[in-house]
Amino acid sequence: MAVAAKLRAPGWYRAVLGILIGFGFGFGLVVAVRALYGWEVINTDAITTVELITVPFGFLFGIGAFDYWFRWASGAPTIPEDHSGHGATSWRDYFRVNTDHKVIGLQYICTTFFFFVAGGLMAMLMRAELAAPGMQFVSPNTFNGLFSVHASLMIFLFIIPVFAGIANYVLPLMIGAPDMAFPRLNALSFWLLPIAGIMMLASFFAPGGSFATGWTAYAPLSTDTPLGQTFFSMAVQFAGASSVATALNFLVTIITMRAPGMTFWRMPLLAWANFTTSLLVVIATPFIAGSQFFLLLDRALHTNFFNVQAGGDILMYQHVFWFYSHPAVYIMMLPGFGIISEVISTHARKPVFGYRMMAFSLMAIVVLGFTVWAHHMFVSGMFPWLRVPMMMTTMLIAVPTGIKIFSWLATLWRGVIHLTTPMLFALGFITMFTLGGISGVMLAVIPFDIHVSDTYFVVAHIHYVLFGGSVFTIFAGIYHWFPKMTGKMYDESLGRLHFWLSFIFFNLTFGPMHLVGIDGMPRRVADYAQQYAAWNAIISVSAFIFGMTFFIFLYNIVTSWRHGPKAAANPWRAHTLEWQVSSPPPIFNFDEVPTVVGGPYEYGVPGAVHGVFKERVPAITAGGGGAPPPVNTE
Amino acid sequence: MRKHPIVQMLTIGLVASLIGIAIVLNINWFPKSADTAAHPIDTLYDVLLICSVPIFVLVMTVAIYSVVKFRARPGDMSDGAPIHGNTRLEIVWVSIPFVMVTALAVYGWVVLNNVEAKKPDERVINVVGQQFTWHFQYAKNGKGSPGPCGGTGPNQVTTNVLELKDNEPVHFQICSKDVIHSFWVPEFRLKEDAVPGKTTSIRLKPNRVGHYTVVCTELCGLGHSTMRSPVAVVSDQEFTAWLQRQTQPAPGAAPPASGGGGGGGGGGADLAQGKQLFTANGCGGCHTLADAGANGTVGPDLDKLASAASKFGKQLNESPVQYVTQSIEKPEAFTVPGFPKGVMPSTFGQQLTPQQIAALVKYLLSVGKG
């Protein structure tokens, strides 16, 4: 009886049942259809491809991600919302479908850091293999799998979703909302994510090994490789769906749920950053979903999108893929820009310099970001005329990006700079991202790109942008909001140690890659010529130490979360709304809805506040907008 | 007495930029140059470096200066100056980068047109990529066309070495037989993908005699890191003699120079042809075979072929010759346990004639005795 009840109620028992039903359904479907056609009924590739769809949906159904909508859609009485699925009182509440954005935020962050570690361990294995010329530890197939899964996990399961996680936690608080606009959709978005990650990891157990065609999965190599490739195409669908659903949620939340008085020009820049990122996600992500569906159809149903003999077009894959995957670079960077604006203004005690230009430059990056995709294809054999316009637009993106860098520097100027760990990571970000930006402009110049395309120079560039850029902002954000999320303070000395070691060994790992790249070492190789041996040995040793620095972070976070000193509501004396409530915040965020009366970063302005909680509405907020923006008052 | 901070920083920045530029220009970034495109590209890179260093120095100087100068003293709870912006400054840092990147883009465009310009009297050479080797197709008689890339033609000779005449412009027509590859010789600085179903191109003029390597830079499967072919830039006479030798009948078909006259009946010739086929088809990219100097590890070790062929042949009810022939013509039929399926290209059955395959099999079984 108890078992039957457990199997009916949403949760892990029903999830296991759902997985079994999904498995059985997928298996039966394939066998039945193949039997009807008179084909050999057991075909591993066909069965696995269908299982990759039915099993995740069985799981999602079992864990309870669809319960409310299914009742509503089938006309059954919906269960009145008693908020029992909201908030967390024990660790168990983090392992079920939970509609509280703060719980979901932490679910996101912890899940994504798990995949960050997995992807990082793969990088360590690759560096072990590359420490010396020749083949030592892994086979070429495993090596190709390692760099493919490494990149896919880091992009789709770490950088993109961890920003969604941080924003999930912080953004509703920041704009004075009780939650996200669609809490149930928010929960579903999260639960799609571990599915994608586990699918990518599970590909290692597929016959023929994991997908091994890079995270770019260029056709026709990817249409002709073993089953593991299907795991990638399918995982991207789940990660992409998660991303799109969250982005829609952010857009609606930001547009409709801002506190009274919070005009767009009074929003913190993190809200601007997530608004613009969400636009990118919603517009661009369907393109990668499309590219992967083309691959799936070619692989599973033998369509001919990329079969040249049957009239397929191979470059079409690259155009569709990069039409997402270049904007994806900004999807992985703009939320970080938002974090840096918060961290720098708070820890330097100064208003963000040129607030409006900071928001406009985000919008400019969104627009320009859609006009540059073919700079990944300068040597692909595409129509030559497209290259020069793409070079121009790519280089123009340096302008809005430059505005941001210079404005942060101007924010530091004449501030009162507290060199806390988040601030150190923000400073590390500014300098390293400048290097990544400079090498990005170099790569845009076609004749130079022709030489270094697909070499280690590109590997160096993307790690300066995505690690020195995005991941440093992630660390800055995690340290900055750790007191708010956990109610505990992290250890400042360990934080500083983490920063300095990772800053130094980051540069020793990825800096020399510029040199070996220009000198002629191609990327994605398990073996290389003797002439690159010395640098690769240095890179590998640095990479191992660099990898270890993560454990300082992990130790700091785990011990501080358990035993750290209690954090005040507003340890940084910040002005934005999330710091005006307790740490961690109350279950519905604001016991009393705040009214926003000024800009978010009015440090040093006598008597200025961002939001107030009492009925004390100054005249300037009448009408909920139209107040003069707090810029250019110097 | 105290200097204005901006003046201080400008001085520091200027000195640091000059030192930085001196350092980066003295790094020997590129491999040695071997064609006429290398010089303008290397110069372009130097210009990019000269423009980049001051920007990086500017960011570093302001960041470090601010941290040193404006760092909070312990217990300092005050706020910074409430500066919200400065329109003039913002216009400056929008327009200067704008002018800089526009100028660099125009310069890049000029260099691009320069290196890609059509040159008079080009020799057309087809570059054919396949997993995991390159072939080069020349016109037999002087500078005519070698026919469509990857195709066959009466006026065509195929080699597995890229031999170029010093100071002679060439037009590479690049294509692929299976997946995407990318043709790159670092010393030439130029690169272009070999795309199935398309013919792409590179024009260049080699100008330094020497030996280089074609590197495949587009991930093309398990043997990607071994997909390398030799390039030689040689003098006029050497090139003519080399091309002459290529146009003679393949060594396998040549009458045996010595020995083998007895009962062997051309056995030595078969073996020589087999060895030539082994090298020319890039088998060494994946397989080890000491006799041919190959040490690939993607596929089975062919030094141990004879014993493996008899063992697996027995399982499949085939003679060793049948087994090896099938492994070349229909590799998907059987994969040696422990090796991934579907890696061995299945196109050799069409590319090679039955006579060639027979010669190759004979050669492999004769040298792979382990």
Domains of chain A by residue range: 2-74, 91-563
Does B48 sit within 8 Å of A396, measured CB to CB?
no
Q: Which residue of B has its CA nearest to A606?
A: B82
Higher pLDDT, B156 or A472: A472
Structure tokens at A103: 């719980």
Mean pLDDT across A354-358: 95
Judge contact between B346 and B332, C-beta under 8 A: yes
pTM of the model: 0.89
Strands B181-185 and B170-176: unpaired
Residue B294 three-state SS: strand
Residue stretches of chain B with pLDDT short of 70: 1-3, 249-267, 340-342, 370
Q: Which residue of B has its CA nearest to A130?
A: B225
Question: At A208, is the pLDDT very low, low, confident or very high (cuts 50, 70, 90)?
Answer: confident
The string of DSSP codes covering B267-278 is HHHHHHHHHHHH
Q: What is the pLDDT of residue B341?
A: 67
Structure tokens at A22: 């999904």
Structure tokens at A390: 């793409």
Chain A interface includes B76 (CB < 8 A): yes
Distances (CA, A) of B58 to A431, B49, B116, B257: 10, 14, 36, 72
Q: Which residues in chain B are contacts of A354 at CB distance < 8 A?
A: 84-86, 90
Mean pLDDT across A226-252: 96
- B125 forms beta bridges with B172
Residue A534 has a CB neighbour count (10 Å cut-off) of: 11
Chain A closest CA to B354's CA: distance in Å?
Answer: 24
Question: At A632, is the pLDDT very low, low, confident or very high (cuts 50, 70, 90)?
Answer: very low
The string of DSSP codes covering A520-581 is TPBSS-S---GGGHHHHHHHHHHHHHHHHHHHHHHHHHHHHHHHPPBPPS-TT---SGGGGS
Residues 103-142 of A with CB under 8 A from B: 135, 139-141
Shortest CA distance to A193 belongs to which of A108, A302, A83? A108
Q: What residues contact B181, with CB distance under 8 A and at least 6 apart?
A: B129, B130, B134, B193, B194, B216, B218, B220, B227
Q: Is the pLDDT score of A128 beyond 60? A: yes
Q: Is the pLDDT score of A278 beyond 60? A: yes
Does B105 sit within 8 Å of A395, measured CB to CB?
yes
Sequence letter at residue A539: I
Q: Lowest mean pLDDT: which of A33-47, A399-413, B184-198, B319-333? A: B319-333
Q: Which helix (H) or strand (E) holds B130?
A: strand B123-130
Residues 191-230 of B with CB under 8 A from A: 191-193, 195-198, 200, 213, 215-226
Of chain A, the percentage scoring pLDDT greater than 70 comes to: 97
Q: What is the pLDDT of residue A617?
A: 44
Q: What ipTM goes with this model?
A: 0.90
Does B111 sit within 8 Å of A348, measured CB to CB?
no
Q: Lowest mean pLDDT: which of A286-290, A613-617, B5-9, B336-340? A: A613-617
Chain B closest CA to A36's CA: distance in Å?
Answer: 27
> HSE of A480 in the Cβ direction (CA atoms, 13 Å)?
34
Q: What residues contact A395, with CB distance under 8 A and at least 6 apart?
A: A441, A444, A445, B101, B102, B104, B105
CB burial of residue A397 (10 Å; 0-12, 13-18, 19+): buried
Does A220 sit within 8 Å of B179, measured CB to CB?
yes
CB pairs under 8 A between A and B: 282
Does A412 sit within 8 Å of B66, measured CB to CB?
yes
- Number of helices (H), then strands (E), belonging to chain A: the values are 21, 2
Residues 103-132 of B with CB under 8 A from A: 104-105, 107-109, 111-112, 115-116
Q: What residues contact A441, with CB distance under 8 A and at least 6 apart?
A: A394, A395, A398, B48, B52, B101, B104
Tell me which residue has tokens 């479907």. Answer: A29
Residues 229-258 of B with CB under 8 A from A: none
Q: Which residues in chain B are contacts of A526 at CB distance < 8 A?
A: 225
Q: Which residue of A has its CA nearest to B225?
A: A525
CB burial of residue A559 (10 Å; 0-12, 13-18, 19+): middle
How far is residue A383's CA from residue A514's CA, in Å, rounded to a whole number? 29
Q: Is the pLDDT score of A581 beyond 80? A: yes
Q: What is the pLDDT of residue B259?
A: 38
Q: Which residues in chain B are contacts of A221 at CB distance < 8 A?
A: 179-180, 219-221
Q: Is the pLDDT score of A222 beyond 50? A: yes
Q: Which residue of B has its CA nearest to A448?
A: B41
Chain B interface includes A571 (CB < 8 A): no
For Cα atoms A373, A378, A383, give the angle at the middle one, nearest 5 degrees.
Answer: 90
- B182 forms beta bridges with B193
**CA-atom Rg of chain B in angstroms:** 29
Q: What is the pLDDT of residue A560?
A: 96
Shortest CA distance to B361 belongs to which of B312, B305, B318, B298? B305
Q: Which residues of A142-172 are buried (b: 16+ CB within 10 A; e: fewer)?
A: bbbbbbbbbbbbbbbbbbbbbbbbbbbbbbb
Higher pLDDT, B245 or A473: A473
Chain B interface includes A409 (CB < 8 A): yes
Q: How far is CA A88 from the centre of its chain?
A: 24
Q: What is the pLDDT of residue A395?
A: 95
Chain B interface includes A379 (CB < 8 A): yes
Does B63 sit within 8 Å of A430, measured CB to CB?
yes
Chain B closest CA to A37's CA: distance in Å?
Answer: 24
Task: Please state the CATH superfamily assignment of the domain spanning residues A91-563 in this structure.
Answer: Cytochrome c oxidase-like, subunit I domain (1.20.210.10)
Distances (CA, A) of A72 to A77, A311, A468, B159: 7, 47, 47, 70
Strands B170-176 and B123-130: parallel
Q: What is the pLDDT of residue A615?
A: 54
Shortest CA distance to B187 belongs to which of A531, A451, A536, A523? A451
Judge contact between A522 and B191, C-beta under 8 A: no
Q: Which residues of A11-30 are buried (b: 16+ CB within 10 A; e: fewer)?
A: bebbbebbbebbeebbbebb
Q: Which residues in chain B are contacts of A445 at CB distance < 8 A?
A: 44, 48, 104-105, 107-108
Does B86 sit within 8 Å of A632, measured CB to CB?
yes
Q: Which residues in chain B are contacts of A412 at CB distance < 8 A?
A: 62-63, 66-67, 70
Does B27 sit within 8 Å of A416, measured CB to CB?
no
Mean pLDDT across A338-344: 97
- Least CB-CB distance to B82: which of A351, A406, A446? A351
Judge contact between A465 and A437, C-beta under 8 A: yes
Residue B228 three-state SS: strand
Does A355 sit within 8 Å of B79, measured CB to CB?
no
Q: What is the pLDDT of residue A112?
A: 97
Question: At A163, is the pLDDT very low, low, confident or very high (cuts 50, 70, 90)?
Answer: very high
Q: Which residues in chain A are contacts of B115 at CB distance < 8 A?
A: 447
Write down the mean pLDDT value for chain A.
93
Chain A closest CA to B193's CA: distance in Å?
Answer: 5
Q: Which residues in chain B are contacts of A298 at CB distance < 8 A?
A: none
Residue B16 has a CB neighbour count (10 Å cut-off) of: 17
